[in-house]
Amino acid sequence: MNNLEDQAKIDNATAQQVAQSDMAAASAAMDGVAAAALRSVLQRVQQAAERAGRGSQHIRVVAVSKTKPVSVIRQVYDAGHRCFGENYVQEIVEKAPQLPEDIEWHFIGNLQSNKAKPLLAGVPNLAMVESVDDEKIANHLNRAVGNLGRKRLKVLIQVNTSGEESKSGVEPSACVELAKHVNQNCPNLEFCGLMTIGMLDYSSTPENFKTLTNCRSEVCKALGIPEEQCELSMGMSNDFEQAIEMGSTNVRIGSTIFGPREYQKK
Ligand SMILES: *Cc1c(COP(=O)(O)O)cnc(C)c1O
């Protein structure tokens, strides 16, 4: 009787151990999945660049880690990646200090003026803000960089190329004016190019990319800078190869590297 009870306890304990080690293996495999997905993405980037007769060293891959835990970002970092993107201020200021300082963070989300300073103060290794879409936010960023005594901040101007009213971004017809403003009135910002998010259903992808390319021509003419000095941030998980073939210098890839997003219940 005792024996049987003991055996039952042991079986039970063993079952728990197996379950735990299964979970550990599953989570290790998950992390391995992100690193493997990164490698596959980098390979596809290289192939798309080759098809377009471009060098893949001119194409930056921003691994968009929004909603993903620090542990998984760390795995992708350990696989050798250094450039990550986030779109909520609260989330990036929480994660960045828990991760290595040589990460280049890109802020890619809608930015409210009162969040410019907390973003810059909380993320000393912020490399770029890709989502400047009006003079007010440019001015706030410019002032915050000055007040914090940071080095110049690289920025992209976000252009609404899909015509959807809900989307952030300046109208294509207004991008020259905003680029001029940043260039002439924001000495602490370095204008580096243009960014766009196309239609989320990807229904007008080539037109969106074409529109952004046209914006670049106009901006470069107006500012008197060569097109090679004006980046195009376009292309996400489902269209980055096409974006690269159309001249993208910066692709923002989330779910293809990290899997579907994990929104927490609040
Ligand atoms: C989330 C996000 C991405 C990544 O989207 P995926 O389709 O998961 O690759 C790219 N750009 C911006 C601005 C985003 O917010």
User: For 136-150, how does the pLDDT look when each residue is reduced to its tens digit (9 = 90+)?
Assistant: 999 999 999 999 999
- pLDDT band at residue 265 under the 50/70/90 scheme: low
pLDDT for res 198: 83
Q: What's the Cα-to-Cα distance from 77 to each of 63, 71, 232, 251, rounded to whole Å?
A: 10, 10, 24, 17
Q: What's the Cα-to-Cα distance from 122 to each of 80, 95, 96, 117, 232, rounded to whole Å?
A: 24, 10, 8, 8, 27
Tokens of 132: 């400047």
Which atom of ligand 1 lies closest to the CA of 261?
A: 8
Pocket test for ligand 1, best of 108, 110, 240, 261 (most atoms within 8 A of CB): 108
Which uninterrupted H or E stretch holds 85?
strand 83-86
172 lines ligand 1 (CB under 6 A): no
CATH number of 2-253: 3.20.20.10
Name residue 189's beta-bridge partners. Answer: 153
Tell the residue number behind the tokens 């080690």, with chain if given.
Answer: 21
CA angle in degrees (0–180, nearest 5) for 151-153-154: 135
Rounded to the nearest whole angstrom, what is the distance from the C-alpha of residue 50 to the centroid of ligand 1?
24
Rounded to the nearest whole angstrom, what is the distance from the C-alpha of residue 250 to the centroid of ligand 1?
12
| Extents of the domains making up the chain | 2-253
Output phi, psi for 248, to 5 deg.
-60, 140
Handedness of CA 256, 259, 260, 261 (dihedral sign): negative
Tell the residue number behind the tokens 């294509």, with chain if given.
Answer: 172
Query: Structure pTM?
Result: 0.88
pLDDT for res 85: 98
pLDDT 10s digits, 178-210: 999 999 999 999 999 999 998 878 788 899 999
